[in-house]
Amino acid sequence: MAKHLIITGIVQGVGYRAAFEARARALGLSGWVRNRRDGSVEAMVAGKAESLQAIVGWAWQGPAAARVSDVSVRDADDARISEGSFEQLPTC
């Protein structure tokens, strides 16, 4: 099971990616997170349903300095995610 997230608001320059990665790893999720040129953060996560639900809930909060205005979530194909790894990708 996998989800694709787009997080908007004040989410760049506040440690959002690093915090997202740490939280995803703690939840046992695989995937990646990256900044986008439009100022949003994008993530692809795969794992157990309850862990995915937890990371989506966390995405609405983010780290203390973040101000999240929206989290868009859609189902995704987990074939593009390396199982057992989570990484930060370059800005796209």
SS3 readout for 26-70: HCCCEEEEEECCCCCEEEEEECCHHHHHHHHHHHCCCCCCCEEEE
pLDDT at 80: 72
Domain boundaries, the chain: 2-77
Catalytic residue among 23, 35, 36, 80: 35
Name which CATH class applies to 2-77: alpha beta
Query: pLDDT, tens digit, for every residue of 27-51?
Result: 999 999 999 999 999 999 999 999 9
Catalytic residue among 17, 23, 67, 80: 17
Does 17 participate in catalysis according to the annotation? yes
- pTM more than 0.85: yes
pLDDT at 90: 93
pLDDT at 82: 76
Does 74 participate in catalysis according to the annotation? no
**What count of residues does the chain have?**
92
Query: pLDDT, tens digit, for every residue of 14-24?
Result: 999 999 999 99
User: Is the model's pLDDT at 81 over the cut of 70?
Assistant: yes
